[in-house]
Amino acid sequence: MAYGEINTTDWVSAVSGLVAAFVSIITLFTVYIGAMQLLSQNRMYRHGLSWRSVGPWKSTVARWQLLGLGRRIMSPTVNLGFLVENNWHLQISFPRGFPKSNPKKRRNTKNSENPNDVEKGEKPVMAKSSWVNFMQALGLSPEESNLYELRDAPELLNGTIPMHWTGKDLVGLCSILGFQSHEDSPSFKTPMPLPMQWSGPLGWLQFRSSPNGCVVEFRSRMDIHNQISLKFHKHYEEKQSDNQIPSEADPLRSRLWNSINGLALHDSTLYLGGADRRKIGHNEEEKSDQALLEDLMAQDLAADDIIHKMFGKMDVQPNALRSDVDRNGALRTQQEDKGDKDTPDFLASMLRDTVETFNKKKIFVPCKGLLSVTVEGELAFNRGLGIRKCFEYVREFKEDHEIDHKMFPYCIGDLYMDDILIDKLKEALLLLWPDGYYFSPTARLARDLNTIYDHIEQQSNVLEDIFPAACIQRIKSLSNSVEASGLNNKQGQKVIASKQSSLTPSGTASVLPTAMELCNDLQSTRKTARATYSVNDMRLIARACAELRSTLKEELGENWGDVVWAILYCRDLPKAVLQTIKELQSEHVFNAKVYCKDGQLDFSALVVGSPDDEEDNGDDESIVDSEFSQKKIGYSKLPCVEDQSFSGRQVLTAMALIFITYYWTDNRWITDVAVYDATMPQSVLMC
């Protein structure tokens, strides 16, 4: 081979070297790009897992594996049915955020005794992951690992670790938090439109669609300052040994039922449904001609009433007995409107419902199986609530003369009911107390409670102060003298011996006067300002009610609720008590006695100008002829109560309890988001 010629081997070697160099360059470039992407992704995950993003959940959502070479990212998920099954004690609070830096890094900081304390001058900030703030509002912390589950988190969403929710669980929790939809009439049939926004006392929830599915973000409101006077906060915080608020019922279960038109009982539920539009008549025994004749002859009835008794309602009366207007008015109206109908169908339906129910009484009729055919039954099942032990009632709207008072002998306002329902309603109302958060019922339940508390609202509307200042001072001196004389010794011993009581063993002389002053403070806010109570104010109201209930229990035992029930059922009793103390007869009220015997309440001793020694003229029927015609002032029917007596001080304690509870129900947040249970996407990511 001649000099300078390149053989095949050298050529192949040279080409291979060039290819290898090119591949090496490409490999290095690829590794560089991959390394930069990994570094960028690592920085994103490091930012998404930082203290500023997930707060105290940092050590929970990120766990190192493979000797520290790998990291597993997880996020919590909450199951509402599991919380109900485990009797989770609801502790809702306003989300205030967290320190800017991890407290663990400040453990060795000078003058820092508690590593969890925020540094002087440092304000807490909200976590960048909105689900962290939402969990703080629910009172769920990383330490309560038995109340949530961890699941592998998907990829980062908006630079944060998202939390996975099941739609029905999120809807259930939002309904007890008082969230409201921006839609005028949310539907339980049409899929939830996106974007969507809910608002509540804690903030807003914004739903939107994304490539990852339905995404929701929580944004908290500004921190509302306490509206109740500082002295009351100091008073009840000093007397409260822990952060727990005593309650007769399970707050979570009670709130879940309140958000779907139900009322919780001890071991069952009371459901007061809406009107049944099927127009199915009840099985009533038809009277014989002789019985009908005797009934007509025994009463002095007008002609229209005789026709009604003989032939029933107007729509089933013979045409000859009806006037020309009744016979032809409806037809003429239909003919006039037939060619010119400007009213939309939905508006006509609303007007028709309003006309049918306007100024009519509500009759509650037992309807077993009602929850099985209504949307509320499905909602209860999805929330882990049982519907087997449930007292179900449907309501009917009737005129006063159409009501069978023998079948429905009891009424509260315009709510008429039978023997069973009145007993269950009493039980439900004695379990419905402030629990430390805003009351969040449905619109229908709120209307029923408005009727029940209507006589309390009437007094609040006309009075500047519920209890006069002079009366409170006199009650203070009377309470101190009663406790000092030893009449309350038994009560004081019980309070000292009770380890589970939230009251301190310093006696209960100040319980009633302080509650009276709190009533006046709440009344002043209602009359002269806008009631925008904070969550701390709600907790104070709950503590005050718990203290009053504890006082009544110590004195009356298991029958403590009877005096409270008397205030709710006897519509004239609160007015009589307030009128008497307004005339500066507080000592008279304090020492008076109220008697209950054979279903009759005698509160004549609390009526102004009614002496205690006034003798009764006539038989018992002259006291109260019926539930609907009261003939003697100071007496009223009182069902579901055993024969007993109450002192005036106990009546005043129950009055304060009822008024404070009324202010809680009056400052309610009507919730309507429960209807989205079946229409919301069942997989929701909260970022």
Residue-wise pLDDT tens digits, 614-663: 444 334 333 333 333 344 678 899 999 999 999 999 999 999 999 999 99
Question: Higher confidence at residue 327 or residue 366?
Answer: 366
* Highest-scoring range by mean pLDDT, 468-477, 579-588, 612-621: 468-477
Contact 426, 566 (CB under 8 A): no
pLDDT at 103 over 80: no
Going by the DSSP 8-state scheme, the letter that residue 466 receives in this structure is S
Helix or strand run (H / E) with residue 392? strand 390-398
The answer to whether 467 and 519 have CB atoms below 8 angstroms apart is: yes
- Residue 594: which H helix or E strand, with range? strand 593-597
Task: Give yes or no for residue 303 having a pLDDT over 50.
Answer: yes
**Mean pLDDT score, 2-6:** 56
* Two tokens, residue 216: 């929701």
Surface-to-core class of residue 538, CB atoms within 10 Å of its CB (0-12 exposed, 13-18 middle, 19+ buried): buried
Under 8 Å between Cβ of 416 and 112: no
Per-residue pLDDT at 395: 94
Over residues 165-198, the pLDDT tens digits come to: 999 999 999 999 999 999 988 888 899 999 999 9
Question: What is the model's pLDDT at position 521?
Answer: 96
- Does a structural domain hold residue 190? yes
Task: Tell me the pLDDT band of 28, cut-offs 50, 70 and 90.
Answer: confident
Strand 410-412 versus strand 600-602 pairing type: unpaired
Domain span including residue 185: 50-99+124-223
CA–CA separation, 66 and 569 (whole Å) = 68
* Strand arrangement of the beta sheet that strand 70-77 belongs to: 62-65, 70-77, 149-152
Average pLDDT of the chain? Answer: 80
Domain count, the chain: 2
Is residue 176 one of the residues assigned to a domain?
yes
| Structure-block tokens of residue 165 | 């929710």
pLDDT of 396 over the 60 cut: yes
Residue 77 reports pLDDT greater than 90: yes
How does pLDDT run across 250-262, given as a tens digit for each residue?
Answer: 899 999 999 999 9
503 part of a folded domain = no
Lowest pLDDT segment from 144-158, 305-319, 443-457, 619-633:
619-633
- pLDDT for 586 equals 72
Cis peptide upstream of residue 366 (ω within 30 degrees of 0): no
> What's residue 241's pLDDT?
57
**Poorest-pLDDT segment among 347-351, 513-517, 591-595, 672-676:** 347-351
Residue 31's pLDDT band, with cuts at 50, 70 and 90, is: confident
Contact present, 205 and 217 (Cβ < 8 Å) = yes
For residue 351, give both structure tokens.
């007007």
Side-chain half-sphere exposure of 497, counting CA atoms within 13 A: 7
Look up residue 316 and give its DSSP letter.
Answer: G
Residue 636: phi and psi, rounded to 5, are -160, 155
Q: State residue 616's pLDDT score.
A: 42
Give the confidence band of 230 by pLDDT, cuts at 50, 70, 90.
very high
Full DSSP string of 85-124: HTT----------B-SS-GGGGTT-TT-SSTTSPPTTPPP
Q: Token pair for residue 38?
A: 């990994």
Give the pairing of strands 203-210 and 213-220. antiparallel
Number of Cβ atoms within 10 Å of the Cβ of 82: 15
Q: Is the pLDDT of residue 235 over 60?
A: yes
Q: Do the strands 269-275 and 361-366 form a parallel or antiparallel pair, or are they unpaired?
A: unpaired
pLDDT-derived band at 358 (thresholds 50, 70, 90) equals: low
Distance (Å, rounded) from C-alpha 631 to C-alpha 644? 23
Please tell me the predicted confidence (pLDDT) of residue 496. 37
| Residues 276-291 pLDDT 10s | 766 554 444 555 666 6
* pTM over 0.85, yes/no: no
- Which among 169, 202, 223 is the end of a domain? 223
Q: Kindly report which listed range (222-236, 254-268, 296-310, 380-394) carries the lowest average pLDDT score.
A: 296-310
Determine, yes or no, domain membership for 591: yes
Angstrom CA distances, 539 to 238, 351, 501, 535, stand at 14, 41, 17, 6
Determine what percent of the chain is predicted with pLDDT higher than 90.
47
The per-residue pLDDT for 66 is 59
The total number of residues shown for the chain amounts to: 687
Rounded Cα–Cα distance for residues 330 and 303 (Å): 23
Cβ-based neighbours of 608, under 8 Å, separated by 6 or more: 576, 579, 580, 583, 585
**pLDDT value at residue 145:** 87
Give me the helices (H) in 90-212, please.
130-138, 167-176
Other Cβ atoms less than 10 A from the Cβ of 512: the count is 25
* Residue 257, pLDDT score: 96
Kindly state the average pLDDT of the residues 340-362: 58
**Average of per-residue pLDDT across 14-32:** 86
Q: What is the pLDDT of residue 407?
A: 92
Residue whose tokens read 């009982």: 265
Domain boundary among 174, 197, 223: 223
CB 583 within 8 A of CB 471: no
**What is the rounded radius of gyration, in angstroms, for the C-alpha atoms of the chain?**
34
The pLDDT assigned to 98 comes to: 84
Residue 132 placed within a domain? yes
Residues whose CB is less than 8 angstroms from the CB of residue 194 and which lie 6 or more positions away in sequence, other chains included: 207, 208, 209, 214
Domain-embedded: residue 63: yes
- In the chain, the percentage of residues whose pLDDT exceeds 70 is 72
pLDDT of 75 > 50? The answer is yes
Helix or strand holding residue 472 (H, E): helix 469-484
Output 628 or 392, whichever has higher pLDDT. Answer: 392
Residue 217: beta bridge partners?
Answer: 206
User: Residues near 17 by Cβ (< 8 Å), separated by ≥ 6?
Assistant: none
Whole-number pLDDT of residue 69: 56
pLDDT of residue 552: 95
Asked whether residue 603 is domain-assigned, the answer is: yes
pLDDT, average across residues 146-152 = 89
Question: 265: burial class by Cβ within 10 Å (0-12, 13-18, 19+)?
Answer: buried
Last-in-domain residue among 188, 223, 258: 223
Which one-letter DSSP state was computed for residue 157? B
Rounded Cα gap, residues 352 and 355, in angstroms: 5
415: tokens are 């709510």
Give the lowest-confidence range in 62-71, 100-109, 355-364, 669-678.
100-109
Conformational region of residue 599, where left means phi above 0, alpha means psi within -120 to 50, and beta covers everything else: left
d(CA 402, CA 470): 48
Q: How far apart are CA 216 and CA 226, in angstroms?
A: 29
Q: What is the Cα–Cα distance from 238 to 543, expressed in whole angstroms? A: 11
Output the CA–CA distances (angstroms, integers) from residue 677 to 219, 381, 674, in the order listed: 21, 11, 6
Mean pLDDT of 555-574: 94
pLDDT at 218 over 60: yes
The dihedrals phi and psi of 464, each to the nearest 5 degrees, come to -80, -50
Alpha carbons 537 and 437: distance in angstroms, whole number = 9
Alpha-carbon span 77 to 72, nearest angstrom: 16
Decide which of 306 and 505 is more confident.
306
